[in-house]
Chain A
Amino acid sequence: QSALTQPASVSGSPGQSITFSCIGTSSDVGGYTYVSWYQQHPGKAPKLMIYDVNNRPSGVSNRFSGSKSGSTASLTISGLRAEDEADYYCSSYTTSSTLVFGTGTKVTVL
């Protein structure tokens, strides 16, 4: 149950689009569509942004989108805004009927 691999940090200017990855294996990301993404601001509980690879919960901006190719999932934030600055975590269901989170990516809006 090794953590999924994410880049430690990504940055972009307001209005830009950024994409960052979540690398797993065939036992998690590559084997299932149960990939989710969470946004966490400092001192707050995480918020679900994407589920089942590319679905947005009600109320989440359509500037957030997800995709997957093989064992790599990706989150894209379009039209970057100051309030998007936060930590982002991917997660995936695994063959052991467990859940594994990614290492987390800190998004900085320049």
Chain B
Amino acid sequence: QVQLVESGGGVVQPGGSLRLSCAASGFTFSNYGMHWVRQAPGKGLDWVAIISYDGSREHYADSVKGRFTISRDNSKNTVYLQMKSLRLEDSALYYCARDWGEKQLEYYFDDWGQGTLVTVSS
């Protein structure tokens, strides 16, 4: 059974940094791309970033490009999201999600974590 557990959320001041983690289990982690998706309270879904199964490709939403970095450690079955220069509008519940495709990116997902809450506030 696929399980994704996010951690690392919290309260941070504008301009600050935070690193989110997503620990995966129940599948061969190194075969799947991973996404980060966020949702501000009461708002819609907002795609953040994707990393390929082997870490060779990364893509970002324009709103986070240059500030956020997605990475993965296949030996630890974990994907990360390093967030810098945080803004008020980055406040959201951050989900990690497993890409549908095995060893290829399909850009849709049916396995999500429970999310970790990031609050950017002064």
Report A57-110 residues with CB < 8 Å from chain B CB. Answer: 57, 87, 89, 91, 93, 96-104
A46 within 8 A of B: yes
| CB-nearest residue of chain A to B115 | A45
* CB pair A47 B59 closer than 8 Å: no
In the complex the two chains form, is A101's CB within 8 Å of B47's CB?
yes
Contacts of A101 on B, CB cut-off 8 Å?
Answer: 44-47
Count A interface residues, CB 8 Å. Answer: 26
A-B contact count (CB 8 A): 58
Please state if B107 and A104 are interface contacts (CB–CB under 8 Å).
no
Interface residues of A in 7-63 (CB under 8 A from B): 34, 36, 38, 40, 45-48, 51-52, 57
Within 8 A of A (CB), among B22-40: 35
Please, how many angstroms separate the alpha-carbon atoms of A40 and B61 in the complex?
Answer: 22
A57-B111 Cα distance, complex, nearest whole Å: 12
What are 25 of the A-B contact pairs (CB < 8 Å)?
A: A1-B62, A3-B44, A36-B107, A38-B45, A40-B45, A45-B95, A45-B115, A48-B108, A51-B100, A51-B106, A87-B44, A89-B44, A89-B45, A91-B47, A91-B107, A96-B59, A97-B57, A97-B59, A98-B47, A98-B60, A98-B61, A98-B62, A99-B50, A102-B44, A104-B45
Q: Which residues from chain B sit less than 8 Å from chain A, CB to CB?
A: 35, 44-47, 50, 57, 59-63, 95, 100, 106-110, 112-115
Closest 8 CB pairs of A and B: A45-B112, A48-B110, A36-B108, A104-B44, A99-B47, A101-B45, A93-B107, A51-B108
